[in-house]
Amino acid sequence: MKINLLLILSLFCHASCAWGQTAYVTIMDRIRSELLSQASNTTTLDNSVTGTLATLQTNGAWPDVNYAYSSTSYTADVHINRVKTFAQAYTKSASSYYHSSTLFTAIVNSLTYWNTADPQSWNWYHNQISNPQRIGEILILLDTVPQSLGSLRTALLTQMNRGNPGSQTSANKLDVATHFMYRSCLTANDSLMQYSVDQVFYPLMLTTAEGIQHDYSYQQHGPQLYFFGYGSVFVEGETKIAYYLRGTSYALSGTRLSVFSNFVRNGFLKAIRSRYIDYGTNGRSISRVNQLAVGVTAHLEKLKVLDTAHIGEYDENIARLNGTQPPGYLLPSLHTHFWRSDYTLHHRTRYLFGVHMTSTRTAKQENGNGENLKGYYLSDGSTHIAAAGNEYYNIPPVWDWSRIPGTTVPYITTIPVRSPWGVNFGATAFAGGVSDSLYGMSALQFSDYNTQARKAWFFFDNEIVCLGAGISSTAAQPINTTVNQCLLNGAVSANVNGAVNTVANGTYSYNNTLKWITHNGISYYFPAGGQLQLSMQSQSGTWQSINNGGSSTVQNMDVFQLWFNHGTSPTNGAYVYYVLPGQNMSTYDTAAVSVEQNTANAQVVYHRTLNIWQMVFYQAGTFHKDSLTVTVDRPCALMLRNVGTPNVKVTVADPAQSSSPVNILLDLPGISQTRELTANLPSGPFAGSSVQYLVNSQTPVYSPAAVITAVADAYVRGGSTYGSVNYGTASLVLKQDATVSYTREIFLRFNVGALPAGTSQIKLRMYVNYANTSISSVPWVAQYVSNDSWTESGITYNNMPAATSAVDTIMGRAAGNFAEWDVTSIALSQQSTDGVLTLKLVSALAGATTDAIFNSRESSDSSRRPMLVCSTGNTARIMTLEKTTDTKTGISIFPNPAGAFIYVNGAERWQKAELRDAAGKTVKVKQPDGRQQFEISVNDLPPGMYLLILSSKGKQLVKKVVKM
């Protein structure tokens, strides 16, 4: 029995080993086949080998290759690439060099030199990615040849062992893991193979780090949109490896295949028109020649084998990409806002329209390695308008980089170069859009370069309506809004003062006289006129001017430029224009769309034919038109469809991604009474995405809560200079600072003796008129003050009464929002005593960008004065609390509520953890010393609410913790 068992185990092990060897042979055969297909033209291959073989020196080096280390350039990889070409010719049966002993000797000599010299680059990419990959490819090509490399093979395998895929992310992880997989096959190392495959496919998941985002956009080098460039490398690499591994035990399948399929089909391919990409999606690669076109059909052919459920969709894309069918062939109408990357795509059969924004959450299109030297304005609301697809192909060297299409910026003649890589973030949190997957709108509260503008895009079928309002600037240069700057193609016609004519090449100025202009099948309509400038002439430049590695040959191209000139130092400027792809302006119905409001507070557009209202509110407010009234209690983007019917579809999003609910009051024709919709918005990685509601007769009828306004309010400021100054009539400023003279605190007094009968919930409501950039991480604490003797005209920092106890704490809100604290208990208790309630507001986090300003009771808008909102039952609007596990930051705090300990777990290496009580007093400090997981004892703390403040280099995170 024992002998039989040993025999069975022996046979099993033999079979497993044989299978493993067979798998490696199969995988390497596939790799070899692909490498040889890269050299499909045998004549070209042989000519290349003949030329480089003739100049190879006896020591295995080439005289024209610089092998010395340089801190700025690297060309030694020319050597290893030539050796790869040798290996292709040596193993290609159709080549005249097939199994040539002379060529094999050259291969050995050149590889020996490479192994000995081991020329290092200043760029880690060559050392840890491209050179090890090239060695692996050469060894795989030579693995089945009659001659042997002997010990040289072992030495080269050792040299390949560079880089660590575990320390890289996304495309870089894939690239390093690829040569690990090559080495696994060459050494038949099962454990290394499994590790390599795990690392290759690890990025095929949804993440908030670099890689595939939850909206199927792609980010690399921080939160930077990178569908192409790194995204192209990622798609090519994952497809290639999955194709090598198909049918083996390492094959891509299940959830990871599903994620990859969705990313390619619903993200990557969507930013292409014909074979041309949106220029805002490929990072610094925009400065490389031919990089605004892609050749991905070979990848899609492989995906048809790997992802058989979507063969038809891949075939449709292939037909559009290779030009056998027009750009709109079987292209479905769709509207997508990629909320993780502040990017919008709108597709119709006739066109593609892209909007690229940045916020405080996302990075601008980067420069680095001397590339994209002029892309200063690329991410500031740029627009990509494509019908044929090639409207911007290879235009970058001649572009006027101060007039990027869609942007509203100062016109500068010398383009600054930002800090390299993805470290330059947007300056505003409010950048995003609302979408129902067919229609949508996007908005950007732009504030940069000493220039402010409210910019919005409204997307329909035949029109994209582009609005700008509140355009103000203190910059020294004139402010331009660029309608488009693309390659000039064909005749241009325009309606000027009612006369339609063909426009000859040249430059033109239109002072409210240009009604519309048509170029290359796209019309631009100006219902409000404007100071418009047109340039149609040759522009010149070099690739080297935008990329240090580019050609110095001067490029000349005819360019179409159209822009608004808002002048120098504009105040509350505006613009309106429609982009109308494929529309005949002699028959287009200009009354189909109406701009109903275009101000710094709100922008609203109505499409009569589609019966769609789209609106963006930059602050809490009301829009009213005829029998339609919409009121929101904080900034948001809305879309209303089917107004005037019993069922109105309302789509809501928060471009600032605060995740707090939006309370909407709706007076709608066809639905009686005012309806109240509380739109609970997504959080974590889905913050900024849209939600849909149906408003009808079942939607709750609005029942207004009773309010009690403040009878006195003031803020106080510390320090020897300001401590005795009264600020009783000013707007209310809140700030904590390490220097007391910058600290401001707010006092409020209410008469609560006559609270409405049955009041069960009382909220202090304050309108945020201004908030600095770090406000979302600032705790705002409401405190009870028992001493009511202060006066609005007499209180100062030096004589202010002391706080008695903490009442409630919320996190800071952006400007345009209402902030609410629950003060129910203390208000009801004061009702039964002296009927007077004094509250004090303090900031619990110091910092230069943590200040906020609230409207005071002197505000001309009575709805924005400090007030107590009183309600019965659960009718009061309740702000949502943070989750214990934050999927956006990856930080977990448990248990919460806590008993004796709280445990912190996350990806960040924290240097300091601080617990503060509700009054902002530090009660416990822990030094995690860079650990990602640690515990904090809270056993000695009394029950209550605490703030956990986590700090690392350049980062701070605030979370609520409840001690039971």
Q: How far apart are CA 880 and CA 864, in angstroms?
A: 21
Q: How far apart are CA 179 and CA 139, in angstroms?
A: 11
Segment 661-669 shows an average pLDDT of 95
Segment 802-822 shows an average pLDDT of 93
Report the pLDDT value the prediction gives residue 2, as an integer from 0 to 100. 47
Report the pLDDT value the prediction gives residue 887, as an integer from 0 to 100. 43
Report the pLDDT value the prediction gives residue 925, as an integer from 0 to 100. 87
Burial of 172 (0-12, 13-18, 19+ CB in 10 A): buried
| pLDDT at residue 879 tops 60 | no
Q: How confident is the model at residue 769 (pLDDT cuts 50, 70, 90)?
A: very high
One-letter identity of residue 556? N
Report the pLDDT value the prediction gives residue 72, as an integer from 0 to 100. 86
Report the pLDDT value the prediction gives residue 954, as an integer from 0 to 100. 61
Q: How far is CA 14 from the centre of its chain?
A: 52
Q: How far apart are CA 398 and CA 559, in angstroms?
A: 8
Report the pLDDT value the prediction gives residue 958, as an integer from 0 to 100. 76
- Indicate the range of 380-389, 414-423, 884-893 predicted with least confidence: 884-893
Segment 177-201 shows an average pLDDT of 96
| pLDDT at residue 702 tops 50 | yes
Please state whether the peptide bond connecting residue 928 to the residue before it is cis, i.e. omega within 30 degrees of 0.
no
Q: How far apart are CA 870 and CA 765, in angstroms?
A: 10
| pLDDT at residue 772 tops 70 | yes
Beta-bridge partners for 265? none
Q: What is the pLDDT of residues 91-144, one digit of tens each?
A: 999 999 999 999 999 999 999 999 999 999 999 999 999 999 999 999 999 999
Please state whether the peptide bond connecting residue 397 to the residue before it is cis, i.e. omega within 30 degrees of 0.
no
Q: What is the pLDDT of residues 240-259, one digit of tens each?
A: 999 999 999 999 999 999 99
One-letter identity of residue 80? I
User: Which is catalytic among the residues 30, 82, 284, 717?
Assistant: 284
Q: Which residues contact 317 (CB under 8 A, 6 or more apart)?
A: 269, 300
Beta-bridge partners for 352? 347, 386
Report the pLDDT value the prediction gives residue 85, as an integer from 0 to 100. 97
Q: How far apart are CA 154 and CA 165, in angstroms?
A: 22
* CA 81 to each of CA 150, 513, 806, 840, 941: distance values in angstroms, whole numbers, following the listed order: 21, 59, 69, 71, 66
One-letter identity of residue 772? N
DSSP 59: T
Report the pLDDT value the prediction gives residue 777, as an integer from 0 to 100. 87
Q: Which residues contact 415 (CB under 8 A, 6 or more apart)?
A: 373, 374, 376, 401, 402
- CA angle (881, 884, 885) in 5-degree steps: 120
| Among the listed residues 923, 911, 912, the one whose alpha carbon sits nearest the alpha carbon of residue 947 | 923
User: Which is catalytic among the residues 24, 216, 230, 946?
Assistant: 230
Q: How confident is the model at residue 267 (pLDDT cuts 50, 70, 90)?
A: very high
Segment 84-89 shows an average pLDDT of 97
Number of Cβ within a 10 Å radius of residue 313: 19
| pLDDT at residue 924 tops 50 | yes
Q: How far apart are CA 944 and CA 946, in angstroms?
A: 7
> What does the block give as tokens for 37?
């297909």
Question: Quick check: helix, strand or coil at residue 705?
Answer: coil
Segment 836-860 shows an average pLDDT of 95
The answer to whether 924 touches 908, Cβ cutoff 8 Å, is no
Burial of 187 (0-12, 13-18, 19+ CB in 10 A): middle
> What does the block give as tokens for 565?
């000139």
Q: How confident is the model at residue 784 (pLDDT cuts 50, 70, 90)?
A: very high
- Indicate the range of 121-125, 739-743, 814-818, 872-876 predicted with least confidence: 872-876
Which residue segments constitute the domains of the chain, with CATH numbers given? 23-162 (1.50.10.100), 173-331 (1.50.10.100), 619-702 (2.60.220.10), 706-871 (2.60.120), 885-963 (2.60.40.3080)
Torsion sign across C-alpha atoms 586, 405, 210, 430:
negative
Burial of 476 (0-12, 13-18, 19+ CB in 10 A): exposed
* CA 156 to each of CA 131, 153, 183, 556, 890: distance values in angstroms, whole numbers, following the listed order: 11, 5, 10, 47, 40
Q: What is the pLDDT of residues 785-803, one digit of tens each?
A: 999 999 999 999 999 999 9
User: Which is catalytic among the residues 126, 214, 221, 356?
Assistant: 221
Q: What is the pLDDT of residues 202-229, one digit of tens each?
A: 999 999 999 999 999 999 999 999 999 9
Number of Cβ within a 10 Å radius of residue 697: 12
* CA 391 to each of CA 35, 187, 259, 351, 380: distance values in angstroms, whole numbers, following the listed order: 34, 49, 32, 11, 20
Q: How far apart are CA 33 and CA 763, in angstroms?
A: 71
| pLDDT at residue 506 tops 60 | yes
Q: What are phi and psi of 35, to 5 degrees?
A: -65, -40
Question: Quick check: helix, strand or coil at residue 439?
Answer: coil
Tell me the pLDDT of the chain averaged across its residues: 92
DSSP 490: S
Query: Is 284 considered catalytic here?
Result: yes
Q: What is the DSSP string of 512-556?
A: S-EEEEEETTEEEE-TT--EEEEEEEEEEE-GGGTBTTS--SPEE
Q: How confident is the model at residue 83 (pLDDT cuts 50, 70, 90)?
A: very high
Query: Is 69 considered catalytic here?
Result: no
Q: Which residues contact 444 (CB under 8 A, 6 or more apart)?
A: 357, 381, 428, 430, 431, 453, 454, 455, 456, 655
Q: What is the pLDDT of residues 20-49, one digit of tens each?
A: 568 999 999 999 999 999 999 999 999 999
Query: Is 310 considered catalytic here?
Result: no
pTM above 0.85, yes or no: no
DSSP 127: I
